[in-house]
A = this chain, B = another copy of it.
Amino acid sequence: MSQQPRPDAPECYCRLEGVIDLLSRKYAMQIVCVVDHLGTARYGELESAFGGDVSSSTLSARLDDLVSADLLEREQYDEIPPRVEYTLTGDGESLAERLEPLLR
Protein backbone atom coordinates (compact mmCIF):
# COMPACT_ATOMS: atom_id res chain seq x y z
CA MET A 1 0.00 0.00 0.00
CA SER A 2 2.65 2.54 0.94
CA GLN A 3 5.76 3.20 -1.02
CA GLN A 4 9.21 4.26 -0.10
CA PRO A 5 9.46 7.91 0.86
CA ARG A 6 10.65 9.94 -2.09
CA PRO A 7 13.77 11.98 -1.50
CA ASP A 8 12.42 14.83 -3.59
CA ALA A 9 8.97 14.94 -1.98
CA PRO A 10 8.09 17.74 0.44
CA GLU A 11 9.03 16.85 3.97
CA CYS A 12 5.48 17.34 5.14
CA TYR A 13 4.47 14.52 2.85
CA CYS A 14 7.31 12.25 3.86
CA ARG A 15 6.70 12.70 7.53
CA LEU A 16 3.22 11.29 7.38
CA GLU A 17 4.40 8.13 5.69
CA GLY A 18 5.06 6.23 8.84
CA VAL A 19 1.82 6.51 10.74
CA ILE A 20 -0.62 7.05 7.96
CA ASP A 21 -1.33 3.45 7.03
CA LEU A 22 -2.15 2.52 10.56
CA LEU A 23 -4.15 5.59 11.39
CA SER A 24 -6.22 5.27 8.24
CA ARG A 25 -7.59 1.98 9.41
CA LYS A 26 -11.04 2.11 10.78
CA TYR A 27 -11.34 2.97 14.47
CA ALA A 28 -7.58 3.27 14.91
CA MET A 29 -7.53 6.91 15.95
CA GLN A 30 -10.74 6.47 17.86
CA ILE A 31 -9.29 3.66 19.92
CA VAL A 32 -6.27 5.75 20.78
CA CYS A 33 -8.55 8.59 21.85
CA VAL A 34 -10.85 6.41 23.87
CA VAL A 35 -8.03 4.68 25.69
CA ASP A 36 -6.45 8.03 26.35
CA HIS A 37 -9.79 9.21 27.67
CA LEU A 38 -10.29 6.21 29.91
CA GLY A 39 -6.68 5.80 30.97
CA THR A 40 -7.03 2.08 30.82
CA ALA A 41 -9.59 0.13 28.88
CA ARG A 42 -10.79 -3.43 28.73
CA TYR A 43 -11.79 -5.09 25.51
CA GLY A 44 -15.45 -4.95 26.40
CA GLU A 45 -15.27 -1.32 27.31
CA LEU A 46 -13.94 -0.48 23.91
CA GLU A 47 -16.58 -2.58 22.27
CA SER A 48 -19.32 -0.71 24.05
CA ALA A 49 -17.66 2.65 23.53
CA PHE A 50 -18.33 2.11 19.87
CA GLY A 51 -21.78 0.72 20.38
CA GLY A 52 -22.51 -2.21 18.14
CA ASP A 53 -20.64 -0.51 15.33
CA VAL A 54 -17.45 -2.55 15.48
CA SER A 55 -17.33 -6.23 14.84
CA SER A 56 -15.18 -8.18 17.25
CA SER A 57 -12.91 -9.29 14.45
CA THR A 58 -12.25 -5.74 13.39
CA LEU A 59 -11.73 -4.48 16.91
CA SER A 60 -9.35 -7.34 17.55
CA ALA A 61 -7.43 -6.63 14.40
CA ARG A 62 -7.15 -2.95 15.19
CA LEU A 63 -5.97 -3.61 18.72
CA ASP A 64 -3.35 -5.96 17.37
CA ASP A 65 -2.25 -3.33 14.90
CA LEU A 66 -1.85 -0.77 17.63
CA VAL A 67 -0.03 -3.14 19.92
CA SER A 68 2.30 -4.14 17.09
CA ALA A 69 2.95 -0.48 16.39
CA ASP A 70 3.86 -0.10 20.04
CA LEU A 71 1.19 2.49 20.62
CA LEU A 72 -0.87 0.30 22.88
CA GLU A 73 0.14 -2.07 25.61
CA ARG A 74 -1.80 -5.20 26.34
CA GLU A 75 -1.81 -6.49 29.88
CA GLN A 76 -3.38 -9.87 30.41
CA TYR A 77 -4.46 -11.09 33.82
CA ASP A 78 -4.84 -14.83 34.14
CA GLU A 79 -8.04 -14.88 36.07
CA ILE A 80 -11.43 -16.37 35.55
CA PRO A 81 -13.18 -14.72 33.90
CA PRO A 82 -10.21 -13.45 31.91
CA ARG A 83 -9.34 -9.80 32.05
CA VAL A 84 -7.27 -7.84 29.59
CA GLU A 85 -6.38 -4.21 29.90
CA TYR A 86 -5.09 -1.88 27.26
CA THR A 87 -3.13 1.23 28.03
CA LEU A 88 -1.29 3.69 25.88
CA THR A 89 2.46 3.41 25.65
CA GLY A 90 4.61 6.52 25.69
CA ASP A 91 4.34 6.73 21.95
CA GLY A 92 0.62 6.18 22.21
CA GLU A 93 0.18 9.01 24.64
CA SER A 94 2.28 11.23 22.49
CA LEU A 95 0.08 10.37 19.55
CA ALA A 96 -3.06 10.97 21.55
CA GLU A 97 -1.85 14.45 22.36
CA ARG A 98 -1.19 15.15 18.72
CA LEU A 99 -4.58 13.80 17.87
CA GLU A 100 -6.40 15.97 20.32
CA PRO A 101 -6.21 19.15 18.22
CA LEU A 102 -8.12 17.25 15.58
CA LEU A 103 -11.05 16.83 17.90
CA ARG A 104 -12.11 20.40 17.81
Determine the main DSSP class of A at the interface with B: helix
Q: How far is the CB of A25 from chain B (nearest CB, A)?
A: 8
Total identical chains: 2
| Candidates B10, B101, B104; contact of A37 at CB < 8 Å | B10
Q: Which residues 64-100 of A have a CB within 8 angstroms of B?
A: 95, 97-99
Residue on B with the closest CB to A96?
B12
Selected A-B contacts with CB under 8 Å, 18 pairs? A3-B53, A6-B53, A8-B51, A9-B50, A10-B33, A10-B34, A10-B37, A10-B38, A12-B30, A13-B30, A13-B33, A13-B34, A13-B37, A13-B50, A16-B29, A16-B102, A98-B102, A99-B102
